[in-house]
A and B are shown apart, each in its own frame.
Chain A
Amino acid sequence: MPEVARPLRVGVDGETTSDQARVLDELAFSLYLNGRHFMAAMTAPDRLSALALGLLLVEQAIRAQSEIESVQEDGPCVRVLTTDPFRVIVPRRGVITGCGGAVSQISERRLPPLPSIVPVQREDVFAALDLVAAPPEGLFSAALRAGDGWSVRSDDLGLTTAFARIIGVRATETVLHDRVIGAVSHRVTAELIRAAVVAGVPVLASTGPPTGLAVEFAERTGLTLCGQGGRGGFVCYTHPERLLL
């Protein structure tokens, strides 16, 4: 609790107390790549090195963890050196703000192809959704669950950082976990579809409904997108051929 704050709880009947006040942790995270400022993000103070790695992968600044020489955590900063720190890295970001005003172009040309279709069990989608079914109050959850049962979850102030963090965790795993299903609380946006495709996550499910742009993009990139999911069922919006029903 910051010292400047004097939280006051106001009840339905107007009574006030000063106890039971929660705050969420938030950190101004800075990522440096080869000595250059790469990006800043507001995030929960959690597994910053993994977050950094995940962001670099999702932003396509690096292709694999093996390109990294060292990752130095320095307070809210994470500094990453690649093995070839003097190579010029051109961001390969696929979201292009169109000149027509709309976010008209999400270029899938620069995206790596998704792993060829390996069917996943319906039950695996439910298990992945279970991981994000109940995010802590005020936070978003993102999780990955692999065919071998391995899983990772992150709760964060936003889905972008939560999802990047679990991508980073997966990249540092020594075992390759495949047939991965991604699951997020709330909703899937086109931005998340892009991240999932870059990270080689072929199935993405959410507890809430996806955006229309997300559905459009998932259709074009070949990603299996599910939404409105829970134990009672889910909606498969695109590419149901990957699901064993």
Chain B
Amino acid sequence: MKKTLYWCPDCNVPLIARSCAAGHEGVPIQLLEPYDVRPALKTDHDLIVGLVHERFGPVPVPRVLLLNKTGGVDRNELVIANGDRFGWLSFDPVERQHRFELEPAALPGLIEAVTKGVVDLDRDPAFAGTKIRLGGKRVAVSSDEPDGGVIVKYRGRFGTGVLADGRLRVRELVPVTPARCPNPGWDVVIDRNRLHLKNLERQAVRTIRTHLQDRPCANVSFSGGKDSTAVLALARRAGVTDAFFIDTGLEFPETIEFVKAEGAQVIEKGADFFQAVERAGPPGKDNRWCCKLLKLHPLKRHLAATGPCVTIQGNRWYESWNRAGLDETSQNPNNPLQLNVSPIRHWRALEVWLYLWWRELPYNPLYEQGFERLGCYLCPAMLEAEYDELRRIHPELADRWEAFLARYTASSGLPEEFRRWGLWRWKSLPRKMVELCRTHDLALTPEYELAPIRPPAAPGPAPAPAATPPPAAPAEPGAAARGDFPLLGDTVYLDSAATSLSPEPVLGAVLEFERHYRANIGRGVHRLSQLASQRYWHAREKVERFVHGEGGTTVFTRNTTEAIELVAHGLSWQPGDRVVTTVLEHHSNLLPWLRLRALGVEVVVVDIGDDLALDLDGLASAIDERTRLVAVTHASNAVGSITPVVEVARLCREHGARLLVDGAQSVPHMPVDVTALGADYLAFSGHKLLGPTGTGVLWMREPEPEPLLLGGGAVESVGPDGWTLAAGPARYEAGTPNIGGAIGLGAAVDYLEAIGMDAVRAREERLTSRLVKGLEAIEGVRLYAPEDPARRIGVVSFTLEGFHPHEVAQYLSDELNVMVRSGHHCCEPLMRRLGLPDGTVRASLHCYSNEIDLETLLAGVEECVRGA
């Protein structure tokens, strides 16, 4: 690593190697860690000139200024000019302003032009005089110069110092001889370095060419920043054409525009930062959950599509400690598909800039606005100085973040400084920040976290997103707004066949019940009871209408299982009665019938065909005159096949049998009309229908069954010798029901109806085909899904050669935050029938699933295959 910078004293320009193209020899200047030096671009140059002029009058400031950033509370940079230290530029995150202090070495170039900002100790009445060296000392003075950096004059010597509260800290006093240096521009710097630049380019292109064949294809990882702009140009010289850019969703609009202009492919974001941050809290330099979520997962998706590749990247040693040891090539530790090549790893920012300028390459306009490093505009690694820059250029982006921070700060009981000073950027504060906090009497926990000053507020609901609207994506027909589902911010949820997620309106409806009118339903006359009763009643109306069941009896149960059991228990069975069901059934639509065998009821289980669909002929021959009831699923929860219920209903009618349809997997995903289906009973679950858990529905054409339970609410009247059952659904709902749950279910039905079930079905059909196709393309995957897209729902079962389904599910969950189900899916007879003793992996969709979810799953499955 280079720790020095060369400077040509004759041309007065920095050099990236010892020699100057004009034939001179450079002299070394010591740099500060991490030794990355860069030109001061326009905004920074203007800033420094402004600060110097404000302090010392219209003194000359060289055109070529270099910045050497180093550690500090926030921005802290050594400014280099005229081949020496010129001064220090820093940002105070508390006062929120920049400061500049001169170095004594800058004095010869400007001392003659200074008009103010000088403390003349020879004439200062308060200065008592001293015999010892003043350098590094603090002395009392009576100067009326404002506090801050000053020039000190004493006994013919000059120096610099800092004035604060009537005391002067003197840096150093030296004899100063005014000097006039040439003042070249950056064009001269480029010219004097051109041979070195040519050399650097040649080396880098050679490095890239050397590794191009290491993998079947090559591409450039393009971030829109200066380093990757240089690398893109170099890679294109080496013959690499493909470039990709990962859109984290936290990109500056300028960056996106620049990336598109440069012809890089934009990889769409998967997760949503603003949704995820509500659960995870602000990311920190030491807690970068956001990178994994926003960058690594999209990269996995992209690489799963490209396959093994060489990726040229612009990482440099000087950027950070963890890049200092970077080799020419490195295997991406997070992704075995990718071999990274870093052709400019040994360049400093200075080399990068000179190269861009020399080649006249376009670069991201944000650099000229004062940004030093680009990337996510909320990166915790960003300095507060840069954050203020963001605030200035894109107040709308800063506003959204600050609204979150304000809310987070308040609800966590943290002091305002947490957000005002940017302390959110660390989970555990570093030493310099600990000191800052102590100076300002801010309490810290033993883990060096900012301590709350109030008890955390009760978690309130997130404010209406209307306050800070995210850029609204055009609504896709059949798709729910992902922002409505809090979990989707950082989770790929593909287990909707087990339990769906609930959108905000459903959560809101349940919470409103709990908070504002929680009361029992029924006979209560008080206002809350009336509200609860009416909402509960209305929920039933909505659900009934949702399945076009007007005129029937709609009963709320705990789930599909209880709904089916209600029928199985409630009908009066006679020995010799027959029940026909199928091998496709969930245990919940099988065990209640099998138990009837003890009563002498004959239970026949009809098989499926090779296409995983119900064997209709087998069913036809199984239904006879003794058959009281046929119980079939509308759609299989394990393999996704749809049962032709209308055909089954016709067979039932011919033999006078009742038909029970298990709609747990169909009602949430497609339009269901009980009348058109010809069902006598339809059972389904609320928790798969975007509703709360513990909600289910039994619709009955006629209320034939006896109630499962007797008790309060189920009776009209009770006398000494007996009781009269209540009319309507109430007779089946003894005891206090899940009132909030039912109300939530009503809201879920509203939500789905607003999207439109036809559209939901059409979209899920398309997504399912995409998933099936993607899985088919992966070696070692065996699919268990019907071939006809019209005959399957968004439930796709598969196995992976060499893996237990649980292993696959565990891997997907651990590595990619992808939730899928594995095992028997409560369908052991079906799994046995298919020869799958370990079951399958099952991915299942809902209206909130999208292509990115599927691509993430596919990328994970491919990783499994490769890892085998």
Binding site for B on A (CB under 8 A): 32, 34-36, 69-70, 72, 79, 81, 85-86
Residues from 509 to 544 in B contacting A, C-beta threshold 8 Å:
516-517, 526-531, 533-535, 537-538, 541
Could you list which residues of chain B lie within 8 angstroms of chain A, going by C-beta atoms? 516-517, 526-531, 533-535, 537-538, 541
Give every chain A residue within 8 A of B529 (Cβ-Cβ). Answer: 35
Q: Per a CB cutoff under 8 Å, which of B517, B526, B534 touches A72? A: B534
Q: Is the beta-carbon distance between A81 and B516 smaller than 8 angstroms?
A: no
The chain A residue with its CB closest to the CB of B519 is: A35
Query: How far apart are the CA atoms of A36 and B530 in the complex, in Å?
Result: 8
Knowing that A35-B534, A81-B538 are A-B contacts, what are 11 other residue pairs whose CB atoms are under 8 Å apart, sorted by A's residue number? A32-B530, A35-B517, A35-B529, A70-B534, A70-B537, A70-B538, A72-B537, A79-B530, A81-B535, A85-B517, A86-B517
Q: Looking at the assembled complex, report how far the CB atom of B473 sits from the nearest CB atom of chain A, in whole angstroms.
A: 27
A70 touches B530 (CB 8 A): no
Question: Closest residue of chain B to A85, judged by CB?
Answer: B531
Q: A69 touching B530 by the CB < 8 A rule?
A: no
> Which A residues are in CB contact (< 8 Å) with B531?
34-35, 81, 85
Q: Considering the complex of A and B, which 4 residue pairs feature the smallest CB-CB distances, nearest first?
A: A35-B527, A35-B530, A70-B538, A35-B531
Residue of B nearest to A79 (CB): B534
B516 touches A70 (CB 8 A): no
Q: Report how far A121 CA is from B243 CA in the complex, Å.
A: 75
Find the B residue at minimum CB distance from A80. Answer: B534
Residues of A within 8 A of B516 (CB): 86
Find out whether the CB atom of A70 lies under 8 angstroms from the CB atom of B541. yes
CA distance A34 to B541 in the complex (A): 18
Q: Is the CB of B538 within 8 A of A72?
A: yes
The residue on B at minimum CB distance from A36 is B527
Distance to closest chain A CB from B516 (angstroms): 6
Contacts of A81 in B (CB 8 A): 531, 534-535, 538
Residues of A near B517 (CB, < 8 A) are 35, 85-86
Residue of B nearest to A86 (CB): B516
Closest CB in chain B relative to A231 CB, distance in Å: 44
B527 touches A34 (CB 8 A): yes
Can you give 17 contacting A-B residue pairs, CB < 8 Å? A35-B517, A35-B526, A35-B527, A35-B528, A35-B529, A35-B530, A35-B534, A36-B527, A70-B534, A70-B541, A72-B534, A72-B538, A79-B533, A81-B531, A81-B535, A85-B531, A86-B516
| Nearest Cβ on chain A to B250's Cβ, whole angstroms | 36
A-chain residues with CB within 8 Å of residue B534 when the two chains form the complex:
35, 70, 72, 79, 81
Secondary structure call for the A interface: strand
C-alpha spacing A70/B531, complex, angstroms: 11
How far does the alpha carbon of A36 sit from the alpha carbon of B517 in the complex, in Å? 13
Instruction: Chain B residues near A79: list those with CB within 8 A.
Output: 530, 533-534
Compute how far the CA of A35 lies from the CA of B534 in the bound complex, rounded to whole angstroms: 9
Compute how far the CA of A166 lies from the CA of B534 in the bound complex, rounded to whole angstroms: 25
CB closest chain-A residue, reference B542: A70
A35 to chain B, nearest CB (A): 4
Complex CA gap A208/B516 in Å reads 50
In the bound complex, CA of A32 to CA of B526 (Å): 11
In angstroms, Cα B527 to Cα A51, docked, is 22
Expressed in whole angstroms, the minimum distance between the Cβ of A46 and any Cβ of chain B is: 22
Nearest A residue to B531 by beta-carbon distance?
A35
- Report the minimal beta-carbon distance from A37 to chain B, rounded to whole angstroms: 9
Q: A71 → chain B, closest Cβ, in Å?
A: 9
Complex Cα gap A70–B541 (Å): 10
B358 CB to closest chain A CB (Å) equals 66
Minimum CB distance partner of B538 in chain A: A70
Alpha-carbon distance between A32 and B533 when the two chains are bound, in angstroms? 13
B168 to chain A, nearest CB (A): 66
- Nearest chain-A residue to B532 (Cβ)? A35
Q: How far is the CA of A35 from the CA of B532 in the complex (A)?
A: 9
Alpha-carbon distance between A70 and B542 when the two chains are bound, in angstroms = 10
Bound-complex Cα distance A35 to B528 (A): 7
Taking the closest CB of chain A, its distance from the CB of B726, in whole angstroms, is: 14
Task: Give chain A nearest CB distance to B283 CB in angstroms.
Answer: 37
Q: Cβ of A70: which chain B residues have Cβ within 8 Å of it?
A: 534-535, 537-538, 541
- Closest Cβ of chain A to B527, distance in Å, is 4
Which residues of chain B come closer than 8 Å to A72, judged between CB atoms?
A: 534, 537-538
- Residue of A with least CB distance to B746: A70
CB of A86, distance to nearest CB on chain B (Å): 6
Least Cβ distance of B774 to chain A in Å?
Answer: 43
Smallest CB–CB gap between A211 and chain B, Å?
Answer: 38
Residues of B contacting A36 with CB < 8 Å?
527
Which residues of the partner chain A approach B533 to less than 8 Å between Cβ atoms? 79
Which residues from chain A contact B535 at a C-beta distance below 8 Å? Answer: 70, 81
**How far apart sit A15 and B534, CA to CA, in the bound complex (Å)?**
54
Closest to B512 in A: A86
In the complex, what residue of chain A is closest to B524 when comparing beta carbons? Answer: A35
CA of A69 to CA of B541, assembled, Å: 12
Identify the closest chain A residue to B526 (Cβ).
Answer: A35
What residues on B are CB-neighbors of A69 within 8 Å? 538
Which of A35, A36, A70 has the most chain B CB atoms inside 10 A of its CB?
A35
Question: Once bound together, how far apart are the Cα atoms of A152 and B537, in whole Å?
Answer: 30
Give chain A residues whose Cβ lies under 8 Å from the Cβ of B527: 34-36
A32 to B528, CA, bound (A): 12
Distance in angstroms from A40 CB to nearest chain B CB is 14
Chain A hits for B537, CB < 8 A: 70, 72
Q: What residues on B are CB-neighbors of A86 within 8 Å?
A: 516-517
Distance between B5 CB and nearest chain A CB, rounded to angstroms: 68
A35 to B519, CA, bound (A): 12
Q: Which residues of B contact A32 (CB under 8 A)?
A: 530
A residues in contact with B526, CB < 8 Å? 35
Distance from A199 Cβ to chain B, minimum over Cβ atoms (Å): 25
B82 to chain A, nearest CB (A): 71
Q: Could you tell me the distance in whole angstroms from the C-beta of B166 to the nearest C-beta in chain A?
A: 62
- How many angstroms between the C-alpha atoms of A32 and B516 in the bound complex? 18
> Chain B residues with Cβ under 8 A from A85's Cβ?
517, 531
Residue of B nearest to A32 (CB): B530
Q: How far is the CA of A78 from the CA of B714 in the complex (A)?
A: 22
Q: How far is the CA of A79 from the CA of B535 in the complex (A)?
A: 11
Select the residue from B528, B529, B530, B537 with max chain A CB neighbours within 10 A: B530
Kindly state the separation between the CA atoms of A35 and B516 in the bound complex, as whole angstroms.
13
Give Cα A81–Cα B535 distance, bound, in whole angstroms: 8
- The docked-state distance in angstroms from the alpha carbon of A70 to that of B537 is 10
Contact partners of B538 in chain A: CB under 8 A: 69-70, 72, 81
A74 to B216, CA, bound (A): 74
Q: Which of B534, B537, B538 has the most CB of A within 10 A?
A: B534
Say how far B444's CB is from chain A's closest CB, in angstroms: 43
Q: Which residue of B lies closest to A81 (CB)?
A: B534
CA distance A72 to B537 in the complex (A): 8
Min CB distance A203 to B, Å, is 37
Closest-by-CB residue of B relative to A77 is B530
CB distance from B157 to the nearest CB of A (A): 78
Docked CA distance A223–B648 (Å): 64
Of chain B, the residue at the smallest CB distance from A69 is B538
Q: How many angstroms between the C-alpha atoms of A81 and B542 in the bound complex?
A: 15
CA distance A25 to B27 in the complex (A): 112
Report how far A85 CA is from B535 CA in the complex, Å: 11
**In the bound complex, how far is the Cα of B528 from the Cα of A72, in angstroms?**
15
Distance in Å: Cβ of B753 to nearest Cβ of chain A: 15
A218 to chain B, nearest CB (A): 38
Residue among B517, B531, B535, B537 having the largest count of chain A Cβ atoms under 10 Å? B531
